[in-house]
Structure formats: C-alpha cells, structure tokens
C-alpha cells in the first residue's frame, strides 16, 4: 500500500508537470507569434511610404542585415522586387495567402513552415496605393524549435520538481501510514493525538472489538475455572464416600448414609452439567430455536402446579394471578425453563410462611410476567451481578437448596433470545420482584 500511494503521487505529479509545460508553451508560442506579426505590421506600415516613392531597393539593403526580407508585387501579383532573390525568376505571388488577403482587404498575414522544421516564416503584407503589395517576412523559431530550446530548461525543472514530489510523496506516505503502523503495533494504547481524525472512528471500532474479544476470552477462562471448581466438590465427596465403603471402613448403617451422600452429589453433578449444557446451547448460534405461539398463562399455571410440592416443603404458598390467553411468540422449552428458574428461586430464597405470586397479564405493548416473593431479598450491591454465571449472594444457601448459580444467567439469555426485557426490584429482608416484558404478539386467527 505504501508503494502504491507513493507511485500514484509521483505519477500525478509527473502528469501535472507535463501538461503544465505543454500548455504554457502553447500559450507562450501564441503570444510570441502575435508579437512578431505585430512587429512586422508596424514595420511594414512605417516603410510603406518609402516603398511607394520608389525607395524599396534601398530599404531592402537596409533590412537585409536584420534577417528580414522585403518583397514588392504589382497589382497582378508579379514580383517587382525581392530583397533576397532575383525577381525575374520568381513566380507570380498573387495567390500567396498574405498577398491575396492584402490585395483584397488592405492588410494580410500568414505563417508558413520553412524548409526545416525548426523555423517558421512570418509574413505581413499591405496594399499600396497603386494596387501593388508590399510584404515583409521574417524567419523565427517554430513551435517545435521553441519546444526544443525549452527542453533542457524544462527537463531541469522537471527533474527538480520530480525530486521534490518524490520527497513530498515519501513524507506523505510515511505520515499517512505511520498511524496505522503504530496502531497495529499497539492497539490498546493508541490515542488520537498526532494522527488524522478520519482514522478515529475506525480505531475506536477496532479497539472496542478488541476489548470485547479480550473480555470474552477472560469470561470464558473464568467460566472454565468456575466449572472445574464446581464439579470438583461433588466429585470429591463421591470419591470419598466410595473409598470408605471400598476399604470396608463403613458400618452397615453408614453404607446407607454414604450411598445417600453419593446419590446427592451425583444429582448435583447432573443438575450442574445440565445447566452448563443449556448455557452453551443458548450461547451458540448454530442451533435454530423454533418459535411458536404460546399461552404464557397456561405455561405459568403448569409450572406453579409442578412446584407446589416444593413450595409446601419450604412452607411457602404459591399462587397464580392474571389473564388467561396471554400469548407470546416463544420457544416452549425455553419459556418453561425461564418460569421454572424464576419460581424455583422465589421459593428457595423465601422465608418460612412466605408467599410467591406469579402474575401474567396483557399490556398495550406486550405481555408481562411477574414473579414476586416475600423472601430474603437481594442487597443493592449484588443486584447488578446476580445474572452473572456462578454469582451467588449466599453461596451456602444456594448450594444447600440445590442451586448451581447458573439459573439467572440462563434466564437472561432466554429473555434476550425472545427480544424481551428484564427488570429486578428487590429489598433485602422484604422480597424480590422480577418482571419480564415480552414484545407484543400479533397473530392471525
């Protein structure tokens, strides 16, 4: 790219110089030509009187040294006098353009190429009172010779200008490219000063993408570390119990207890792995989720029914309120999971004797789902983070109630997949309300 810019600049400069030289030469030649013809005219008008009074020969001698030539014809175009040739041998000049023009209009002019390319002959003619024509001629450089004469000078200027252009092109390309090179060397510490502003939006975009990539990589790494850690605890327990049984160190009554421990830990592993698989499915873009018309009220009702037993165990009441036939466009499995995670949390983080209210209703702009509990609430400082993977306010409570720390991360993903929005309202000690607003669903039926 550097070479390309450099070559283009030099090419543009060379073309500009070439055309300027051609144009300027043409203009100057035109001025030069007009000037010579004008001089010849002044001269011929000055000597007209003398020529008429028969002094043309003397005049001819006088001007011979100045490189000029004088010719006199009679009214029929026959040459009466010529300062350079023998008039008796000269053909009739009546048809020469400048003489014909002078005979017709009083004055005539012409420029003709000489025998050599490098010279042109300039003619100016005036009609005399007796009808004859007096013509003065002068050889001068042709446009080619002027070009040729100007060539060394032009060449020199061209060389100097080209050298200058090459220098400027070099400086320019270096200047143009250096911010990009600097950027490539150190993307994060790049700042606007010293570069051109057109690059700024581009840099900002790349920086943002770069930061996102780094953040993503960090998150993945953290997630992997967390997953390993989470898996380790139940596996260690299983391995411990199994070892005790294997070594015959467990009494008959302990074996049942240990088997129960193994069962619990294995169950925990299964839930954890299920949640991880769910998350990675939701993260990926490969899978196409089929969307259909769903009655959110129906699904909420099924979920409340399913969790009734768990609520009873926690001494919590659970109730469903709202409007039947509240439709949304969604993936059934995902919405069931969202409902389950929200209601399950509302039961697990509740107080004995507390309540959970699930509400589904229509709004002008869509369908709302509210899951409200009178539980332990979430302190302000944790509210932003509870949707992160493995983030828990109270780890032991989460674990003891079978939590994985992934439920709300899954909810957040599902909400995003449905183009819905999520709001959390909670006060420590009083309770929590989570609201999901689904976009309006129009259907033809």
Residues that bind ligand ADP (CB under 6 A): 341, 345-346, 349, 373, 375-378, 386, 391-394, 398, 403-409, 432
Cα end-to-end distance, the chain, whole Å:
61
Show Cβ contacts of residue 310 under 8 Å, excluding neighbours closer than 6 positions. 344, 347
Among residues 82 and 337, whose Cβ is nearest to ligand ADP?
337
Minimum Å gap between C-beta 433 and ligand ADP is: 9
Give the three-state DSSP class for 330.
strand
Show Cβ contacts of residue 82 under 8 Å, excluding neighbours closer than 6 positions. 60, 69, 70, 71, 72, 90
> Which residues, listed in sequence order, are joined to residue 79 by a DSSP beta bridge?
73
Minimum Å gap between C-beta 240 and ligand ADP is: 24
> Which residues, listed in sequence order, are joined to residue 319 by a DSSP beta bridge?
357
Minimum Å gap between C-beta 317 and ligand ADP is: 15
Measured CA to CA, the distance from residue 288 to residue 417 in angstroms comes to: 11
Please report the beta strands in 323-375, taking only residues with DSSP state E, as ranges in sequence order.
327-330, 355-363, 366-373
Among residues 133 and 406, whose Cβ is nearest to ligand ADP?
406
Measured CA to CA, the distance from residue 12 to residue 444 in angstroms comes to: 65
Minimum Å gap between C-beta 420 and ligand ADP is: 17
Helix, strand, coil share of the chain (percent; to 5)? 55, 20, 25
Among residues 47 and 376, whose Cβ is nearest to ligand ADP?
376
Minimum Å gap between C-beta 349 and ligand ADP is: 3
Minimum Å gap between C-beta 346 and ligand ADP is: 5
- Contacts from 311-314 at CB under 8 Å and sequence distance 24+? 311/347, 311/356, 314/347, 314/348, 314/350, 314/352
- Contacts from 283-292 at CB under 8 Å and sequence distance 24+? 283/413, 289/331, 289/334, 289/417, 290/331, 291/329, 291/330, 291/331, 292/329, 292/330, 292/331, 292/332
Q: Are residues 338 and 411 in contact, defined by beta-carbon separation less than 8 angstroms?
A: yes
DSSP for 419-430?
Answer: T-EEEEEEETTT
Measured CA to CA, the distance from residue 363 to residue 437 in angstroms comes to: 9
Minimum Å gap between C-beta 345 and ligand ADP is: 3
Measured CA to CA, the distance from residue 360 to residue 111 in angstroms comes to: 102
Among residues 59 and 378, whose Cβ is nearest to ligand ADP?
378
Measured CA to CA, the distance from residue 248 to residue 246 in angstroms comes to: 5
Among residues 341 and 357, whose Cβ is nearest to ligand ADP?
341
Among residues 98 and 344, whose Cβ is nearest to ligand ADP?
344
10 Å CB burial of residue 429 (0-12, 13-18, 19+) is exposed
Among residues 83 and 341, whose Cβ is nearest to ligand ADP?
341
Minimum Å gap between C-beta 369 and ligand ADP is: 14
Measured CA to CA, the distance from residue 345 to residue 409 in angstroms comes to: 13
DSSP type of residue 325: S
For residue 436, give both structure tokens: 């999901």
Among residues 122 and 349, whose Cβ is nearest to ligand ADP?
349
Minimum Å gap between C-beta 396 and ligand ADP is: 10
Among residues 234 and 405, whose Cβ is nearest to ligand ADP?
405
Among residues 73 and 341, whose Cβ is nearest to ligand ADP?
341
Among residues 335 and 378, whose Cβ is nearest to ligand ADP?
378
Minimum Å gap between C-beta 269 and ligand ADP is: 14
Minimum Å gap between C-beta 390 and ligand ADP is: 8
């Amino acid at each position: 790219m550097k070479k390309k810019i450099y070559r283009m600049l030099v090419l543009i400069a060379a073309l500009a110089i070439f055309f300027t030289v051609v144009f300027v030469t043409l203009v100057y030649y035109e001025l030069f030509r007009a000037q010579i013809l004008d001089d010849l005219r002044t001269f011929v008008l000055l000597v007209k009187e003398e020529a008429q009074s028969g002094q043309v020969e003397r005049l001819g001698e006088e001007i011979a040294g100045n490189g000029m030539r004088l010719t006199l014809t009679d009214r029929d175009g026959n040459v009466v006098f010529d300062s350079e040739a023998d008039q008796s041998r000269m053909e009739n000049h009546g048809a020469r353009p400048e003489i014909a023009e002078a005979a017709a209009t009083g004055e005539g002019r012409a420029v003709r190429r000489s025998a050599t390319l490098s010279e042109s002959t300039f003619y100016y003619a005036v009609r005399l009172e007796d009808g004859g024509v007096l013509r003065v001629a002068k050889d001068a450089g042709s446009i080619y010779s002027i070009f040729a004469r100007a060539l060394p000078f032009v060449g020199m200027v061209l060389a100097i200008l080209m050298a200058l252009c090459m220098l400027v092109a070099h400086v320019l390309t270096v200047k143009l490219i250096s911010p990009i090179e600097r950027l490539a060397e150190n993307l994060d510490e790049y700042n606007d000063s010293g570069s051109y502003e057109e690059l700024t939006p581009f840099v900002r975009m790349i920086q943002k993408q770069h930061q996102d990539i780094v953040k993503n990589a960090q998150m993945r790494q953290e997630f992997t570390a967390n997953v390993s850690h989470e898996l380790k605890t139940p596996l260690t327990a299983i391995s411990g119990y199994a070892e005790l049984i294997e070594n015959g160190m467990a009494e008959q009554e302990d074996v049942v207890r240990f088997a129960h421990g193994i069962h619990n830990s294995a169950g925990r592993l299964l839930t954890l792995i299920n949640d991880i698989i769910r998350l990675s499915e939701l993260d990926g873009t490969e899978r196409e989720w089929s969307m259909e018309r769903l009655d959110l009220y129906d699904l909420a009702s099924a979920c409340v029914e399913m969790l009734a037993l768990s609520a009873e165990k926690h001494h919590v009441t659970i109730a469903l309120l709202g409007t039947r036939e509240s439709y949304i466009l969604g993936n059934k499995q995902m919405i069931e999971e969202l409902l389950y995670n929200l209601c399950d949390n509302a039961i697990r983080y509740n107080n004995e004797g507390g309540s959970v209210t699930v509400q589904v209703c229509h709004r002008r702009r869509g369908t709302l789902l509210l899951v409200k509990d009178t539980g332990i609430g979430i302190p302000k400082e944790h509210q932003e983070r509870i949707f992160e993977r493995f983030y828990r306010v109270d780890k032991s409570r989460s674990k003891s109630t079978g939590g994985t720390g992934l439920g709300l991360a899954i909810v957040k993903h599902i909400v995003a997949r449905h183009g819905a929005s999520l709001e959390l309202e909670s006060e420590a000690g009083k309770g929590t309300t989570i609201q999901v607003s689904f976009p309006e669903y129009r259907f033809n039926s």
